[in-house]
Amino acid sequence: KKALTKAQQHFEKQRFDDAREEAQKALQAMEVSAEAEAILEAIDLKLRKKQRGGKRLLWLISLALLGSIAAAWMYYNQFSAEQSAWSQAQSTGSFSAYQSFLQKYPQGKFATDAREALKALNDKDESLWQSAIHPPEKANLERYLLAMEAAGGIHTEDAKWLIDSLDFDFAVKEQNPVALENYVKNHPTGTYIASARKLMATL
């Protein structure tokens, strides 16, 4: 942006060598090469027209130059916003983050990457879930939650419910008030909390 601004300032003061240098800097620094090249082309056209002494074409080229700079700036702003959103989605690495990115930039530069990341996350979720329930052991389910809960895993609630059930079954088999007390402590809002307390009182 600074290079493009300086190029325009030099251009208006008819310091064409300096304007060309700044435009070339912009071409190297920004990914909007088409706009930067348009500025250089406008400078060349202006120089040629100046040599011929045509004022009308100079005015038109000035407008074209301003339009090119405005287009470059708009493109750069849009690209920067999308790149920032993509970096945030990657940093979060969750289903909702990638889905939100795609809703905002469905045809963006990183849309394909976002869809691939979403598919990879879904494949990982399903693979870990199948491992967790074959067999449905507490350690396997906890491993699934550790890997996928923060990412918004599809089977998160199912995993929590199965752990709740396994802990309650264990406490019942123990027929021990201490085991039931541990269940109540570890699952204060568990599915079987009422049954656990009733059995504790009975024992």
Residue 34 confidence (pLDDT): 63
* Mean pLDDT estimate for the chain: 85
pLDDT of residue 71: 62
Work out the average pLDDT over 152-162. 96
**Coil/strand/helix, residue 133:** helix
29 close to 45: Cβ distance less than 8 angstroms:
no
pLDDT one-digit tens code per residue, 117-152 = 999 999 999 999 999 999 999 999 999 999 999 999
pLDDT (mean) for 55-67: 71
